[in-house]
Amino acid sequence: MSRTEAPPLPEPLRVPVADSHTHLDMQDGTVEEGLARAAAVNVTTVIQVGCDVKGSRWAAETAAAHASVYAAVALHPNEAPRIVHGDPDNWSRQGAREGGGTAALHEALAEIDALAALDHVRGVGETGLDYFRTGPEGMAAQEESFRAHIEIAKRHGKALVIHDREAHADVLRILADAGAPERTVFHCYSGDADMARICADAGYFMSFAGNMTFKNAQPLRDALAVAPAELVLVETDAPFLTPAPYRGRPNAPYLIPVTLRAMAAVRGVDEDTLASAIADNTARAFDY
What residues make contact with Zn ion under the rule CB under 5 A? 126, 163, 237
Beta bridge partners of 71: 48, 121
Peptide bond into 239 cis (omega under 30): yes
Q: Least distance from C-beta 187 to Zn ion, angstroms?
A: 6
* Rounded least distance, CB 137 to Zn ion, Å: 21
Alpha carbon distances (Å) from 199 to 19, 83, 104, 234, 282: 21, 30, 33, 16, 16
Question: Please, are residues 41 and 256 in contact by the beta-carbon 8 Å criterion?
Answer: yes
Least separation in angstroms between residue 76's CB and Zn ion is 7
Cα torsion at 199, 243, 47, 156 (round to 10°)? 20
Of 164, 248, 239, 165, the C-alpha closest to 214 is 248
Shortest separation between residue 269's beta carbon and Zn ion, angstroms:
26
Report the nearest approach of Zn ion to the CB of residue 14 (Å). 28
Q: 57 or 163: whose CB is closer to Zn ion? A: 163
Concatenating the DSSP letter of every residue in 146-162 gives HHHHHHHHHHHT-EEEE
Is the distance from CB of 41 to CB of 9 less than 8 angstroms?
yes
CA 139 to chain centre: 21
The CB-nearest residue to Zn ion is 163
Beta bridge partners of 17: 43
Q: Which is nearer to Zn ion, 163 or 221 (CB)?
A: 163
Q: Is 23 or 183 the residue whose CB approaches Zn ion more closely?
A: 23
Q: How far is the CB of 131 from Zn ion (least distance, A)?
A: 13
Question: SS3 for 139?
Answer: helix
Query: Is the CB of 158 or the CB of 163 nearer to Zn ion?
Result: 163
Q: Decide whether 49 or 278 has the Cβ nearer to Zn ion.
A: 49
Is the CB of residue 23 less than 8 Å from the CB of residue 239? yes
Nearest to 22 by CA among 45, 42, 54, 41: 45
CB of 261 to Zn ion, least distance (A): 22
Tell me, rounded to whole angstroms, the distance of Cα 264 from its chain centroid: 20
> What is the smallest separation between the CB atom of 112 and Zn ion, expressed in angstroms?
15
Nearer to Zn ion, 130 or 267 (CB): 130
Q: Which is nearer to Zn ion, 148 or 267 (CB)?
A: 148
Q: Which is nearer to Zn ion, 232 or 267 (CB)?
A: 232
Q: What are the phi and psi torsion angles at 235 (to 5°)?
A: -150, 165
